[in-house]
Structure 1
Amino acid sequence: MPSYLSRRERPEVRCINFLCAVLLTLVLVAGIIMFVLWLSLRPHRPKFFLDDFAIPNLNRQSGAVNLPVSFTVGEHNPNQKVGIHYDEIFGTVYYNDLVVASGTVYRPFYEPPKGDTPLRGQLTATGPTPGDPAWQRFAADAAAGSVALRLLLNSTVRFQVKVWDTKEHHMKVDCEFRLRGDGTLQQEGKNKQCTLYF
């Protein structure tokens, strides 16, 4: 056998090398396409902003029981192609560790991509009363015109990409703010972004 034939690859080997190169190229292209799709469809968390909060007559001497608690939290879906399904939203207002008011504040709803919804809540205060250990501090803060409160919103959410829904995620929104003595939101608390936990 001539020596130049031994140095040339056999046709079977060249065919296998060509098929491997084509297969690797297809895998690389498919990987890039999947990565770009994942980046474009990856859900981003919603954003929440405290727009308003009020407890009228907060500084009355008979306690905060039965006072109306009203607030508006702005919800924004930053996703371009991903919608968000919210289950019922439950809200709790705290003064330190004392529950001031709690209850369901919003019905289940769907937020389309790039959508905004003002979550308007109405609750009734259950405390503090003059008999509570925290009442003296609460009354002193109200008299000084600066009552520190927290609003917690809890719900379960699912992200929707086209017709596909993700698994459920428990969501907690934590808004910290201060009220004036008359029960209205201090200016620096307006449109303040709340902390979101998943």
Structure 2
Amino acid sequence: MPPYRLPMYRERPAVRCVNFLCAVLLTLVLVTGIIMFVLWLSLRPHRPRFFLNDFTIPNLNRQSGAVNLPVRFTVDEHNPNQKIGIRYDEIYGSVYYNDLLVASGPVYQPFYQPPKGDTPLQGELTASGPTPSDPAWQRFAGDAAAGSVGLRLLLNSTVRFQVKVWDSKVHHIKVECEFRLGGDGSLQQDYKNRQCTLYF
């Protein structure tokens, strides 16, 4: 009796062609995915950094209140991205003593920050308080007499990241700097060049 042999299976040319095309397509998808991931890593924007460089309110300890006193400050902005610029809209500033608004208003015009760039944001506002009639005045005057007044500076704006001709969507940012002034109204040395908190 002749030995039993299994019939040989031969793939049809059409099936082989479909399998080859599927393999090529999957390879292209994998390679494209890797390239897109590498590009995303290299072009992923990093958030800007802000440092409080200086802050002054001359004659802070006068007895007639802080109304109409000039409020001057410098916050250094740094773009850490190597290939991505940042386009800022107008920057609006507010200064608080606890929950009491001391001064507010626009402080910087729209500008473009190139990659790895630094810009000193110099702002000037006019104090609207506190006045001797405010409930917080006694605490404020006491802190000024003691030589340590705690304040908060808030900067608000919207930004877009820019890679050549491509702009990202608009992002709202809030920068918060907490610090203390001496009795003469100048920034205490411990807070000079301290990094501010960025809410993105």
TM-score (normalizing by structure 1): 0.95
For 1:103, the equivalent position in structure 2 comes to 105
For 1:185, the equivalent position in structure 2 comes to 187
The one-letter amino acid of 2:34's match is: I
CA shift, 1:5, in A, is: 6.5
In 1: Cα distance, 2:18 partner to 2:40 partner: 33
CA shift, 1:12, in A, is: 2.1
Deviation per residue, 1:69-101 (Å, 9 max, x gap): 100000011111111111111100000111111
Question: Which of residues 70, 73, 84 is equivalent to 2:72?
Answer: 70
The one-letter amino acid of 1:136's match is: Q
In 1: Cα distance, 2:7 partner to 2:167 partner: 61
The one-letter amino acid of 1:43's match is: P
In 2: Cα distance, 1:5 partner to 1:192 partner: 81
For 1:47, the equivalent position in structure 2 comes to 49
Question: Which of residues 29, 32, 48 is equivalent to 2:31?
Answer: 29
Decide which structure has the larger Cα Rg and report it.
2
Deviation per residue, 1:35-89 (Å, 9 max, x gap): 1111111111111010010111111111111111100000011111111111111
In 2: Cα distance, 1:162 partner to 1:131 partner: 54
In 2: Cα distance, 1:161 partner to 1:132 partner: 49
In 2: Cα distance, 1:22 partner to 1:122 partner: 63
Which deviates more, 36-45 or 24-33? 36-45
Question: Which of residues 148, 161, 183 is equivalent to 2:150?
Answer: 148
Secondary structure of residue in 2 paired with 1:34: helix
Question: Which of residues 188, 196, 199 is equivalent to 1:197?
Answer: 199
For 1:160, the equivalent position in structure 2 comes to 162
For 1:123, the equivalent position in structure 2 comes to 125
CA shift, 1:7, in A, is: 2.4
The one-letter amino acid of 1:195's match is: T
In 1: Cα distance, 2:161 partner to 2:105 partner: 25
The one-letter amino acid of 1:12's match is: A
Give unmatched runs, 5+ long, in structure 2.
Answer: none
CA shift, 1:10, in A, is: 2.3
The one-letter amino acid of 1:141's match is: D
In 2: Cα distance, 1:6 partner to 1:59 partner: 101
TM-score (normalizing by structure 2): 0.94
Percent of counterpart pairs with the same letter? Answer: 82
Give unmatched runs, 5+ long, in structure 1.
Answer: none
Find runs of 4+ consecutive structure 1 residues off by over 6 angstroms.
none
For 1:172, the equivalent position in structure 2 comes to 174
For 2:12, the equivalent position in structure 1 comes to 10
